[in-house]
Structure 1
Amino acid sequence: MPGRILKKSESAVSSVVAAVLLLGIMVSVITVINVSYIPEWRTGAEQAHMDEVFFDMSNLKSHIDILSATVSGQPAGSISTNVPIRAGGGSIPVVSPGKSGGMLSINMNEFSMRITASDSVVNNSSGAFLEDLGSITYRSDNSNFVDQEYGYENGALILAQGELSLMRQSPSIGIRKTDNSTNITLDVNAIRIRGPVRSISSNSIEEVYITYDSSNTLYDNENLFSELTLNIETEYPRAWEMFFEGAVADAGLEAGEYVLTSNASAVVITIKGASGEDVKANIRKNVFDVHLNVFEN
């Protein structure tokens, strides 16, 4: 039989080399995207999610404000509402679908107020009327964007990052000159968040259930005081201090008509009537039962 002749061929080798080069290019592109682009995309997506949380927490404040205004005119009856909070977000479809999460809490932060008012005869104290007002908080657990905390307490919505805090939306507390600028009036519409201490970690949508319970009045503008002190105990003293700095400036109070101090856990403002000037107070409290997702006894 005639001998077989083997011919040299490099076609198979070239196909393998092309496949290896293509694979190397793909790996390089994926690596560059994961290292250089996805973290930046995730940062932007998580920042957008923080904007969503701010919108939801603002919506929660608005719902409670509306309920407070409604029951002020019609104190009888039970009124309820629920507010969704987008606890998770920051995903990028296909390339990074995982969501960052956060913790939604009821009454994890303590908040209390205390009022002492005096005239020429007696000293008055709010006692337990404004204590244990409660709070609703959201703490993010981001992978790339800086973690933030939103706290709702006594009608105020506060943004905190580390040791810094800023009041994004103001409470129903006002200081104003009244009676043709002969007196100073302090208006406080206190909000008590009553419910079990509870928190839930989630990367989905959670709901906060709010039910009006009752209203009470401490002062109703009939009492005249020579001096009134409001003491606020809070996790965010700097935010409250900045709020009162703006409030007394807007009211036109002079340096001798108030004293504002703060420390790591409290803010204290004292309002003093000048010669021939008295201090009035309208102090009201609305109580709301608040729960996460399901009603509890």
Structure 2
Amino acid sequence: MDRKSIALKFGKDSFYRSDSAASTAIAAILLLGIIFSVFSVIHLGYVPEWKTDAEYSHVSSIWEDLTELKSKIDRTTILLMSDPDSSSPKIRITMPLHTGSMEMPFTDYSKFSGTVSINTDTCKMAINPANDSEKIINCGTISYSSNNNYYVDQIFKYENGALILAQKEQSVMKLYPMMFVSEVSDGNYSFSINAIEIQGLEDTLSSRSDCSVYLKKCSFTPFYDSNEYENVDFFMLKIYTAHPDAWEAYFDEMMKGAGLEKNKDYTLDLIENDYLYFSFPENGSDKNLKRLYVSKTAVSAELINGLN
């Protein structure tokens, strides 16, 4: 074979090898581009939605925990109310709060976080029956505040037997306290109010892990009964809370449900957005106060880091 043939042969083979390498490189670049595009679409289009759904599921789980906490305190109250001689100091309740969560796979998202607090907010109820002095119950609170990055932040607060959802500047009472009004005879109404007093030191736990609320020293005490006094035909009630609008909506619904009219049969006002003022009956109303009965359930609460 002469030199020309040898050169042509080796030149042609080199061209083939160069063309094959270039095709492999182009295919690899295109494949990487497709993979990058898929991950970009997932990261920009789907991951935020996944994270929003995950945060929503997380706060929903904690809401269910606080719902169960309220239910357990209500059931304990009914038990103690029906059997005043029961050994109430022996009643202990450990309520887990699933405030922690696992990390989301395939994302850079870390665990959820939030803050659980006991008695860091003011909630008290003042009752002033006619011809008697004002009586005050320091109700206390148990609350959870989320620290979300995607889903709107939530505040869940248990106070005086009610469970309140607060979101931005608005709040609504989702589960009601043990307060009842009933017409016992024509135009005569009876009010039954059971206050919940959360005792214990002020405490806050901010954690990415689960925790528990430990309830102990549960007790039930009759607080006031107008049947033991004379000429009690009127009473006033004040509720000092960070969510007076939620309490106002509840009282308005409760009274309307009993067939009573605002500013005709009862007074209901927010005083400087600081506390709720309620009185019954209104001057000139043909409705009468037959009985006012107030009781109190006291529970000592403390936070425990971790589930028990």
Q: Could you say whether these structures have the same fold, taking a TM-score greater than 0.5 normalized by the shorter chain as the test?
A: yes
CA shift digits 1:243-274 (9 cap, x unpaired): 00011101112342210001422111100174
Q: Secondary structure at the match of 1:123?
A: coil
1:52 corresponds to: 61
CA distance in 2 between counterparts of 1:41 and 1:275 reads 58
CA distance in 2 between counterparts of 1:275 and 1:40 reads 57
- Cα drift, residue 279 of structure 1: 4.4
Whichever of the two has the greater Rg, that structure is 2
Give unmatched runs, 5+ long, in structure 2.
Answer: none
CA distance in 1 between counterparts of 2:209 and 2:21 reads 52
CA distance in 1 between counterparts of 2:126 and 2:287 reads 26
1:42 corresponds to: 51
State TM-score, norm by structure 1.
0.89
Identity within the alignment, %: 32
CA distance in 2 between counterparts of 1:171 and 1:84 reads 22
Structure that is richer in helix per residue: 2
Q: Give yes or no for contact 1:46–1:89 (8 Å, CA) kept in 2.
A: no
Return 275-284 or 144-153, whichever deviates more. Answer: 275-284
Residue of structure 2 aligned with 1:200, choices 194, 205, 209: 205
The reply on whether 1:169 has 2:211 as its aligned counterpart is no
CA distance in 2 between counterparts of 1:270 and 1:134 reads 23
- Cα drift, residue 234 of structure 1: 0.4
- Cα drift, residue 168 of structure 1: 0.5
Q: Secondary structure at the match of 1:98?
A: coil
Q: 2:220 is matched by which residue type in structure 1?
A: S
Q: Give yes or no for contact 2:280–2:289 (8 Å, CA) kept in 1.
A: no
1:292 corresponds to: 303
Q: Secondary structure at the match of 1:257?
A: coil
- Cα drift, residue 217 of structure 1: 2.0
2:247 corresponds to: 240
Could you say if the C-alpha distance between residues 225 and 275 of structure 1 is closer, same or farther in structure 2, counting changes exceeding 3 Å?
Answer: farther
Q: How does 1:203-242 map to 2 (within 5 A)?
A: 203-222=208-227, 223=229, 224-242=231-249
Could you say if the C-alpha distance between residues 250 and 148 of structure 1 is closer, same or farther in structure 2, counting changes exceeding 3 Å?
Answer: same
CA distance in 2 between counterparts of 1:96 and 1:60 reads 33
CA shift digits 1:11-66 (9 cap, x unpaired): 12221221122112211211111111100111122112222122111001001111
Return 268-277 or 48-57, whichever deviates more. Answer: 268-277
- Cα drift, residue 275 of structure 1: 5.2
Q: 1:264 is matched by which residue type in structure 2?
A: N
1:33 corresponds to: 42
CA shift digits 1:131-182 (9 cap, x unpaired): x21000011111111111100001100000011001100000112222x134
Q: Secondary structure at the match of 2:133?
A: strand
Q: Secondary structure at the match of 1:278?
A: strand
Q: Give yes or no for contact 1:235–1:265 (8 Å, CA) kept in 2.
A: yes
1:183 corresponds to: 188
CA distance in 2 between counterparts of 1:52 and 1:278 reads 42
2:128 corresponds to: 116
- Cα drift, residue 99 of structure 1: 2.5
CA distance in 1 between counterparts of 2:82 and 2:290 reads 26
1:160 corresponds to: 166
Return 278-287 or 226-235, whichever deviates more. Answer: 278-287
1:98 corresponds to: 110
CA distance in 2 between counterparts of 1:217 and 1:74 reads 13
